Structure 1
Amino acid sequence: MNARSSRVVILGGGPGGYEAALVAAHLGADVTVVERDGIGGAAVLTDCVPSKTLISTADYMSEFETAADLGVHLEDVEGDEVTDAVADLPEVNRRVLALAGAQSRDIAARLAEVGVRTVEGTGSLVSPTLVRATTAEGHVDLGADIVLLATGARPRVVDSAQPDGERILTWQQIYDLRELPRRLVVVGSGVTGAELAQAYLGLGSEVVLVSSRDRVLPGEDPDAAQVIEDVFRKRGMEVLGRSRMASVERTADGVVVRLEDGREVAGSHALLAVGSVAQTQGIGLEEVGVDLLPSGHVAVDRVSRTSVRGVYAAGDCTGVLPLASVAAMQGRIAMSHALGDAVAPLALGVVSANIFTDPEIATVGVSQKDVDEERVDADVLTLALGRNPRAKMLGITDGFVKLFAQKGSGAVIGGVVVAPRASELIFPVTLAVQHRLNVDQVASTFTVYPSLSGSIAEAARRLHATG
């Protein structure tokens, strides 16, 4: 296909959509993005960017607690010691939303710079080569040689726990709160639930985390999840394991969360974090023959093709891996493939991911579960951060580095970092996994002393084969 004569229409302006648009424009295509809520999509406006901004604010407040351990004491102008930092939630939320809005505008400006057209509205497929955008003024029909579906996902809700935006909230509704919840009941202990539970705990709320599983973060490295649960409890969070929500209802002055075993948990607010649903209904996909999975996600291959020629999909609507980085990569791959540029299929084995709790959990490559269930034959080394000199200086007591090395070759095939800013520390491990570096190559690479990254090199040294 001649890229310079191709018309590309993208449904959705989130990471999958806008990154695809940039690639397509760079390759010379005529590109239109149809977006209903604002460029950046949920990731920028109501999910990743605002939630991580909120979490960063809570992390900053936690520094006040560590300060005393480092010999630093805060005093007011009268010389009296300050014992508590207080979060002004309306002010915090204003900053959160302002930052999200600024990021959205920056992305929109970049799209405009490269000639991408943006249509504000909802797109649907009339045929594989025709998209209808419904706008405030009516309908706009857009001819297309290539269509990319990047419609994302929305919070899952159940009939017995209907959000009202005031007391019963999804994670997209929390930025309208006018006061800090006195007692927040978080339903769901996956990534979103765990992150926001700790954020509000750090901001000063009393928090109860309702988990239907044995432990929080059931899909993550078990050692890492145990560290986080221990930190939660140590900092005063009430964690209810093996506790499945039956319903959530408003009361006169708050909410009550009823559990399936008959217990009731009262709170001032409830936050529902029970998964997400792909936004694939009512936009013409089934009518034009796009195959959907039983979950409602769009079925795609490793270059983002759907079952219909010329129609691609990227991001949370595909259910491949709900990460903004994966959505962006899927979108870039889709456009490169569709427009005839060099491209490599999506490689999920080298995706690094991060959970923004405090400490953070960052992972890449194979997991502890892969080793335990004998799908991978690997040596595993875990090194506690507590012995790292830089960690001592920073007052870090919780966390570790874990490396997985292939038996025989010593190739680094996975890793877990539990630490403040683990999202930054995982990068050298990701490089090692991506480029099949062995533990000796990692160990012989200089690290700064003292540094947290020194523990990664130390873990690699301890994995050196001596026999």
Structure 2
Amino acid sequence: MNDSVIDCDVAIIGAGSAGLPAYREVLRAGLRPLLIEGGPHGTMCARVGCMPSKLLIAAAQAVADMRHADGFGIRMDAPPRVDGAAVMDRVRRERDRFVGFVVDDVQAMPADHRLDSPVEFLRDGVLRAGDGREVHARRIILATGTRPNVPDLYQPLGDLAIVNDDVFDWHDLPRSVLVVGSGVIGVELGLALARLGVRVRVLNRSDSFAHLSDPRVRAVAVDLLAPELSLVQRARVVTVRREGDQAVVGWSADGGPETVERFDRVLLTAGRSPALDALHLERTTMPLDERGRPRFDPATLQVHGQPVFMAGDVTGRHAIQHEASDDGRVAGRNAAAWPDVRALPRRAPMAVVFSDPQIMQVGGGHAALDDPDAVAIGEVDWTRQGRSRVMLRNRGLLRVYMRKSDQGFLGAEMVGPDAEHVAHLLAWALQMKLTVPDMLNLPFYHPTIEEGIRTALRDAVRQSAA
């Protein structure tokens, strides 16, 4: 036995939301897996993504609900006081609890199934660990996740320039934050911080907003959320400098004069890149694109011509927890079955932004429509919808897309009340390949938010007939 060599059937690099399901699939197939993690265990979702962000958002929602109680005739003697230290203490405690569940699962694995060390490729099928040992693997799954992008422009700010990963280790709330980017992270965290009393400004270099592609839904979302976010679109950052413990940032909107403001922190949400650099893929025969990323089949997740598979955020195709888990299962099954690699069925696309009002897309949204002229679009204006008006949450717009030729349901985009639940119902309908008449034959209870779905579906049928 050579103690300097670890031999396995499948090496899984990355123990996150994709790597853990891949490990279970390989184990289920009766093969010998090795789960490799070079950083802390606990998944990005639990540590710095889905769960801690929702904890912060929940605190912000509690404040918003108290401030809006007056609309129901409920008088507050004094405005709510936000204890930033207490807010962040709960965020960290609950975050650590979620992380602990994952860590416990990993630690329960057999010791010879785990390697807690960074690794790099020496050649095809051979990895070198940080302690010098070699891992010889007949198949490999790359599930290394992503790292946040930090543009060079903000380097002079030092530790005042942060990414979302940093927010959840705060021990108190800052007084002011500049958020760069109005994607999902920028909108969610920007709105939460603003409602918790932080002075927030959001800058975005284009008209995009929360990845919405339907122009009407996007316009409504911007109208509803831009005031609280102090959103500036089509903004070009001109100057960035540090003065003591303050970030000084100047920008110009639409070519206008420069505006300069000071902030305690600058939160960069300029996207994330696959975490592959440290692996030295150039030492292998994997086909790489111009950015040095493996070329792979998105249906099977196999790197072209190699017993190597991609899974999760590292694919660059999505950054959603359930999609990453599905990737892990696909990659794990195909790695175990290699060379009998197959395209496995995928679930209907769905995305949710936990703003208030919430935002959602189903089926890829408006951008996924191949021929808009062949599509009927139905909508509901939530301002007139009964149940949402009862709850004083009657804001937003839902648009549903129906193929005219056979009345097949194609997807939707929405900003409005309970979008996270509406998204699930519509994604289920899409995955089941229901037609709009099929959906209208299903029960709708009165009075509910879901009745708004029926209104939009009926409108799509009317538009098609017209």
TM-score (norm 1): 0.88
* AA aligned opposite 1:174: V
- What is the aligned-residue identity percentage? 24
Task: Give secondary structure in 2 for the equivalent of 1:173.
Answer: helix
Distance of 2:8 and 2:345 partners within structure 1: 23
Which runs of structure 2 are paired with 1:169-184 in the superposition (5 Å)?
A: 169-184=162-177
Task: Give secondary structure in 2 for the equivalent of 1:445.
Answer: coil
Task: Give secondary structure in 2 for the equivalent of 1:51.
Answer: helix
Specify whether residues 366 and 148 from structure 1 end up closer, same or farther in structure 2 by C-alpha distance, changes over 3 A only. closer
Which runs of structure 2 are paired with 1:332-343 in the superposition (5 Å)?
A: 332-340=329-337
Cα offset for 1:370?
4.6
Indicate the residue corresponding to 2:214 in structure 1: 221
Moved over 6 A (4+): none
Specify whether residues 23 and 325 from structure 1 end up closer, same or farther in structure 2 by C-alpha distance, changes over 3 A only. same
Indicate the residue corresponding to 1:193 in structure 2: 186
- Out of 441-450 and 54-63, give the one that drifted further: 54-63
Indicate the residue corresponding to 1:423 in structure 2: 420
Indicate the residue corresponding to 1:450 in structure 2: 447
Specify whether residues 254 and 218 from structure 1 end up closer, same or farther in structure 2 by C-alpha distance, changes over 3 A only. same
Indicate the residue corresponding to 1:77 in structure 2: none
Distance of 2:133 and 2:96 partners within structure 1: 26
Specify whether residues 456 and 89 from structure 1 end up closer, same or farther in structure 2 by C-alpha distance, changes over 3 A only. same
Q: Deviations over 1:235-282 (max 9, x none)?
A: 3x3221211224432223411113366432322321111122221113
Cα offset for 1:400?
2.5
Which runs of structure 2 are paired with 1:113-132 in the superposition (5 Å)?
A: 115=110, 117-132=113-128
Q: Deviations over 1:336-386 (max 9, x none)?
A: 1222399644648x2101112211111111532455x83672110110122
Indicate the residue corresponding to 2:350 in structure 1: 352
> How many corresponding residue pairs?
450
Distance of 1:309 and 1:95 partners within structure 2: 46
Task: Give secondary structure in 2 for the equivalent of 1:462.
Answer: helix
Distance of 2:133 and 2:98 partners within structure 1: 27
Indicate the residue corresponding to 1:294 in structure 2: 290
CA contact (8 A) 1:153 1:316 kept: yes
Distance of 2:454 and 2:108 partners within structure 1: 43
1:90 aligns with 2:82: no
- Out of 453-462 and 185-194, give the one that drifted further: 453-462
Instruction: Choose which of 231, 234, 244 in structure 1 pairs with 2:236.
Output: 244
Indicate the residue corresponding to 1:70 in structure 2: 72
Distance of 1:96 and 1:392 partners within structure 2: 32
Indicate the residue corresponding to 2:3 in structure 1: none
Indicate the residue corresponding to 1:160 in structure 2: 153
Indicate the residue corresponding to 1:61 in structure 2: 63
1:271 aligns with 2:289: no
TM-score (norm 2): 0.88
Distance of 1:292 and 1:106 partners within structure 2: 36
Specify whether residues 48 and 376 from structure 1 end up closer, same or farther in structure 2 by C-alpha distance, changes over 3 A only. farther
Indicate the residue corresponding to 1:362 in structure 2: 360
* AA aligned opposite 1:363: Q
Q: Deviations over 1:285-334 (max 9, x none)?
A: 12112233334443321211113521111122221222222222111111
Task: Give secondary structure in 2 for the equivalent of 1:172.
Answer: helix
Distance of 2:259 and 2:126 partners within structure 1: 53
* AA aligned opposite 2:278: G
Instruction: Choose which of 281, 288, 293 in structure 2 pairs with 1:285.
Output: 281
Specify whether residues 205 and 148 from structure 1 end up closer, same or farther in structure 2 by C-alpha distance, changes over 3 A only. same
- Out of 317-326 and 261-270, give the one that drifted further: 261-270
CA contact (8 A) 1:128 1:147 kept: no
Which runs of structure 2 are paired with 1:41-60 in the superposition (5 Å)?
A: 41-60=43-62
CA contact (8 A) 1:189 1:210 kept: yes
Distance of 2:280 and 2:208 partners within structure 1: 40
Distance of 2:103 and 2:316 partners within structure 1: 26
Task: Give secondary structure in 2 for the equivalent of 1:264.
Answer: strand
Distance of 2:156 and 2:434 partners within structure 1: 48
Specify whether residues 72 and 243 from structure 1 end up closer, same or farther in structure 2 by C-alpha distance, changes over 3 A only. same
Distance of 1:448 and 1:11 partners within structure 2: 47
Distance of 2:182 and 2:421 partners within structure 1: 24
Distance of 1:6 and 1:400 partners within structure 2: 53
CA contact (8 A) 1:123 1:283 kept: yes
CA contact (8 A) 1:188 1:273 kept: yes
* AA aligned opposite 2:35: V
Distance of 1:17 and 1:376 partners within structure 2: 42
* AA aligned opposite 1:98: R
* AA aligned opposite 2:90: R
CA contact (8 A) 2:178 2:266 kept: yes
The unaligned stretches of length 5 or more in structure 1 are 75-80
1:326 aligns with 2:319: no
CA contact (8 A) 2:385 2:452 kept: yes
Q: Deviations over 1:165-199 (max 9, x none)?
A: 74221111122334322222111122221221111
Q: Deviations over 1:3-37 (max 9, x none)?
A: xx972211111111112112222232222211133
Cα offset for 1:163?
7.6
Distance of 2:227 and 2:394 partners within structure 1: 12
- Out of 184-193 and 239-248, give the one that drifted further: 239-248
Instruction: Choose which of 395, 400, 404 in structure 1 pairs with 2:401.
Output: 404
Distance of 2:373 and 2:109 partners within structure 1: 45
Specify whether residues 452 and 338 from structure 1 end up closer, same or farther in structure 2 by C-alpha distance, changes over 3 A only. same
Distance of 2:89 and 2:386 partners within structure 1: 38
Distance of 1:183 and 1:268 partners within structure 2: 5
Cα offset for 1:453?
1.5
